[in-house]
Amino acid sequence: MKLEDLKKQVRSGALYSCDDEELAVDQLKYLQKLYKYNKTKPVQQKKREKMLKAMFAEIGENCYVETPFRSNWGGSNVHFGKNIYANFNLTLVDDADIYVGDSTMFGPNVIVCTAGHPINAKLREQVYEFNIPIHIGKNVWIGANSVILPGVTIGDNSVIGAGSIVTKDIPSNVVAFGIPCKVQREISEKDDKFYFKDMQIDPELLK
């Protein structure tokens, strides 16, 4: 199979064997770019922005990705909107496409994983894998140490609590957390008044 056809299969959701030498060699090109990104200094933000534009499938303006940053394909299957912030040690298992909307924030040590393996042990012995895209909406906050699994969609404005494992879709405008992650409540008018427990928001900030 030609490399480009194989790469399409990798992103199709179908089972494939990831033990392909040509695919591995191609992947190294993207990992080398990622390695260089992680060697940049905090003061080299302009350089980082330029590198991310070359690494990602799409990326909007004013995005900041802290190092270290991990990605199976160096971000080449990642589609970022604008004004996105990713804290330390974001891991994007981008064997399939990952879409992230504007103004979304990732806490430290978040994992977004499009890849999975069959339960069947014989297939795993043959290193079979599948990859399903992940969609994260606008203005989403994903708390530290959360894991988002293949095929998940998270709606706009939602908050994923720290340490969650997201196995199913999460709708817009909710607070969700847990293992597995479940909707705990809708975002309400109370959230316009308080930012943490009984700590009040200055109304001037919302004008």
Catalytic positions, written as ranges? 117
Q: Which residues contact 149 (CB under 8 A, 6 or more apart)?
A: 113, 116, 165, 166, 167
How many Å apart are CA 166 and CA 137, to the nearest integer? 14
How many Å apart are CA 98 and CA 47, to the nearest integer? 23
Specify the 3-state DSSP secondary structure of 79.
strand
How many other CB atoms sit within 10 Å of the CB of residue 204? 6
CB 116 within 8 A of CB 150: yes
Going by DSSP bridges, is the β-strand pair 141-142/159-160 parallel, antiparallel, or unpaired? parallel
At what angle are helices 45-55 and 21-38 packed, to 10 degrees?
160
Q: Taking Cα atoms as reference points, which of 73, 39, 78, 41 lies closest to residue 58?
A: 78
